[in-house]
Amino acid sequence: MWILFAFGSAFFAGVTAILAKCGIRKTDSDVATAVRTVVVLAFSWLMVGVVGSAPQTTSLSGSTWAFLVLSGLATGASWLCYFRALQLGDVNKVVPIDKCSILLTVLLAFFLLGEPVSPLKLAGLAAIAAGTLLMVTKQSCVRCAAGRSWLVYAVLSAVFAAFTSLLGKLGIAGVESNLGTALRTGVVLVMAWMMVLVKGKRTLVRRIPRNELGFILLSGVSTGASWLCYYRALQQGPASVVVPIDKLSILVTVAFSRVVFGERLSRKAAVGLACIVAGTLLML
């Protein structure tokens, strides 16, 4: 049964990007991020309730709280950049760059924390880097301006995601994972709505088209469902199998981007996707 939950985690994670893309065609990406985070936060605390780790909140040290807040800020910045990139660019180009956060995480851990990198991990990093370069093909001249914009946001998304992982390694390792996720998501929620207020986009919340609001909320539900399935799979199955299956969500995203948006992979991009998948499996 656990393997079904593992594939469910990958499926919902892959669908999240598609649902989010459908919800930000006319809706501002900052507003969409703020709205969907409400749903994600609810799922986060649902998981905390399931494992019963809420009482641990009162025993957290000041330094742990500091890292939780910093990690939440990094997560919020990553989400804001990611959904902005999705709004401006193609899903099957944005997602591979975002997946590069694993590459940046390993490099930062090596240089800042002194964590060793095995030859197998190096091979995985090289495959992921090569695959990403192959998948991010040059856009047409008509869309070159937008292409530069989505690329910047996608790269920033990966950078902030890597710092989120690094902050977790530095100070949140002792916190129960679901509780840490819930507390960080609370910071993300505050940050996302602050961005909406500071940029004067509060009135845009009421202008979200109903059909897009549905997709935005569903993207939050999909993220929460992915987390629930992932946790359930880890409870019953070996992490060495569950984690690689979950990371294969990129295959789901690319497949749905073809069906929903008509985004086609060139032969070059298809080879790149294969490299990313192979590199991910080597890394894990």
Contact yes or no for 146/89 (Cβ under 8 A): yes
254 vs 114, which has greater pLDDT?
A: 254
136 vs 59, which has greater pLDDT?
A: 59
Residue 143 pLDDT exceeds 60: no
Amino acid 169: pLDDT: 66
Contact yes or no for 271/134 (Cβ under 8 A): yes
Confidence of residue 196 (pLDDT cuts 50, 70, 90): very high
- What residue numbers bound the domain in which 262 lies? 2-283
Please state the pTM of the whole predicted model. Answer: 0.87
Amino acid 34: pLDDT: 96
Per-residue pLDDT, averaged over 75-85, amounts to: 94
Per-residue pLDDT, averaged over 274-281, amounts to: 88
> Domain total for the chain?
1
Residue 154 pLDDT exceeds 90: yes
Distance CA 186, CA 35 (A): 13
Hey, which of 122-131, 191-200, 273-282 has the most confident mean pLDDT?
Answer: 191-200
**CA-atom Rg of the chain in angstroms:** 18
